[in-house]
Amino acid sequence: MKHLRNIAIIAHVDHGKTTLVDQLLRQSGVYRSNEAVTERAMDSSDLERERGITILAKNTAIQYQDYLINIVDTPGHADFGGEVERIMQMVDGVLLVVDAFEGCMPQTRFVLRKALDQKLVPIVVINKIDRPMARPLEVVDEVLELFMDLGASDEQINFPVVYASAVNGTATLDVEQPSPDFRPLFESIIETIPEPTDDAEGPLQWQASILDYSEFLGRIGIGRIVRGTIKLGQQVVVMKQNGELSQQRVTKLYGFRGLRRVELETASAGEIVAVAGLGDLTVGETVADINAPEALPTIPIEEPSLQMTFVVNDSPFAGLEGTHVTSRKLRSRLYAELEKDVSLRVEDTESPDAFLVSGRGELHLSILIETMRREGYEMQVSKPRVIFKRDENNKLLEPIEHVIIDVPEEHVGTVMERLGGRRGELVQMIQGTSSTRLEFHVPARGLIGFRSELLTATRGYGTMHHTFLHYEPYKGDISDRQSGVLVASEAGTSTAYAIASVEERGVLFITPGAQVYAGMIVGEHSRDNDLVVNVCREKHMSNVRSATKDDTSRLKAPRILSLEAALEYLADDEYCEVTPKTIRLRKKKLNKSERERAQKQSNFQDVQS
């Protein structure tokens, strides 16, 4: 164990974790001299590469001199915090990466708290020191304050600091004396992170912290051997969370070397390995010696905070673009996602065509939707809804988010007013050289749809980060979307002539030539009520001509909604229709008369209550 180190890399989103791992791989000699090197090698899925974020925690291992360093790259976004929590069980230390300009952010606090709770040994990496206006020494002071604020021990507060530029592949212990490579970081890991002290002689104990899935091998568990030795072909006992014991056989055993999994015959305590052949193994379950089955403490997984209803697509365009459109296919795919995403919940509803899906946030659920549409699935999804709780006195509680917003000074008043209307409480304001940092505590439901509103209110200059704080008593009603929508009156192909006549009523979401159907939302109304419009009307031909009458109409640029923007925009009586090629908004009731009848009934019930 003297030559083994297990570390996790943790940070706020976009502070450079994955780029840092890239350089560790490069400079440790993982790649051949003539090998093509991929940027952000650990972000293996298309979605991760396109969005520049890490969604799932991933393992790698590098050889430095005589040391094998197991590295786990963790997500930085709050919606994937469940991945971070589980990784802490696998490692002995962490690299806390902090941007030299942005400093400590909400997720920095979240991941550091998890590491300190597990008594892990930290190394602080101040990254992006080459960035304009970088302030590395001030950021170190911020990090120190954060450690003290979170109740770190004296040993943890005495952390080493490495100043790095991951993109340039340089690291140094003295910001005034740059180094040409990552050698100072490697040396800090070897000297600071303790070697595993697990008992290799006792009976086997191994716990799954990450799940993977293979069509050939089934479910694969990844975790650390806490005690004993595990061998290929060994008979073991899986200790289920409900107390049951399941006897299984290890059919495949893998270690990690660079970006590859390598087959092993045996592995001992302290090593991080992947194991296949253990049936329906799930995160937190213990795999133990068949003659001495002793369970490890279960790994707590935070409950979902947001839910949506996934519904079979029943619009007039259903089945035109997707290959998987039935209720059976949709249900099977959603439950299959549970094989590897333990933060997700899927429930059947009274309707065989609708399923309740709960996740950690909007991004968590939108990633699932985007993944499914790329696989050929069609579906409709409802407006995201916050999950409430009840305390012991049956009092209603709701999730509160810690929000940090950076905006130019001239927009501070606007942001405070907008979040005040969403029940947000300002807790701190910090005046910077180029922007002002505002910190709020806001109900999670108050943030649904706020990101696009923030960009509009600040002309694109506002940035927002948030993370779950805790549950508090219900804060009262929050007003929904202020504007109504433009709803298509009939099916057909939209025309420039019709769109030009509708433009003065609001902002369009479609371009000329788009296929529409009655009940489909084609734009945002400038007033607070919904308006039915005809965007398929064609210009009638006549023999009358004038010098200016037939000039080509100059249309305003439409607002094309991304998947996340569409989900944020939804109202309670609307669906987002998602297909492999198109994202549309629609009313749940496509018929105008049925909508009006439902609205009258709703108004009557409000009066009665």
Q: Which residues are annotated as a binding site?
A: 14-19, 127-130
Q: Which two tokens stand for residue 347?
A: 């429930």
Q: What are the angstrom distances between the C-alpha of 421 and each of 311, 412, 437, 481, 586?
A: 32, 14, 19, 12, 27
Kindly give the pairing relationship between strand 266-268 and strand 229-231: antiparallel
Cβ–Cβ < 8 Å for 232, 266:
yes
Which residues are known binding-site members for GTP?
Answer: 14-19, 127-130
- Going by C-alpha positions, the residue among 429, 402, 5, 438 that lies closest to residue 190 is 5
Torsion of CA 335, 74, 454, 365, to 10 degrees: 0
Distance from CA of residue 416 to its chain's centroid?
26
How large is the angle between the packed helices 183-192 and 17-27, nearest 10 degrees? 100
Give 556's DSSP letter.
P
Cβ–Cβ < 8 Å for 162, 184:
yes
Amino acid sitting at position 234:
Q
- Edge-to-edge order in the sheet of strand 121-127: 58-64, 67-73, 4-11, 93-99, 121-127, 161-165, 170-172
Beta bridge partners of 506: 525
Cβ–Cβ < 8 Å for 91, 121:
no
With a CB cutoff of 8 Å and minimum separation 6, the contacts of 414 are 457, 458
- Going by C-alpha positions, the residue among 483, 477, 406 that lies closest to residue 445 is 477
Amino acid sitting at position 345:
R
- For 345, half-sphere exposure in the C-beta direction (CA atoms, 13 angstrom radius) is 16
Cα 411-414-416 angle, rounded to 5 deg: 110
Cβ–Cβ < 8 Å for 521, 487:
yes
Q: What are the angstrom distances between the C-alpha of 327 and each of 322, 402, 440?
A: 13, 38, 42
Kindly give the pairing relationship between strand 170-172 and strand 161-165: antiparallel
List alpha helices for 428-495, DSSP H: 444-447, 450-457
Kindly give the pairing relationship between strand 531-533 and strand 485-488: parallel
3-state SS, residue 450:
helix
Distance CA 92, CA 134 (A): 30
3-state SS, residue 533:
strand
Cβ–Cβ < 8 Å for 207, 299:
yes
Distance CA 493, CA 535 (A): 8
- Going by C-alpha positions, the residue among 182, 229, 172, 179 that lies closest to residue 206 is 229
Q: Which two tokens stand for residue 235?
A: 């008979």
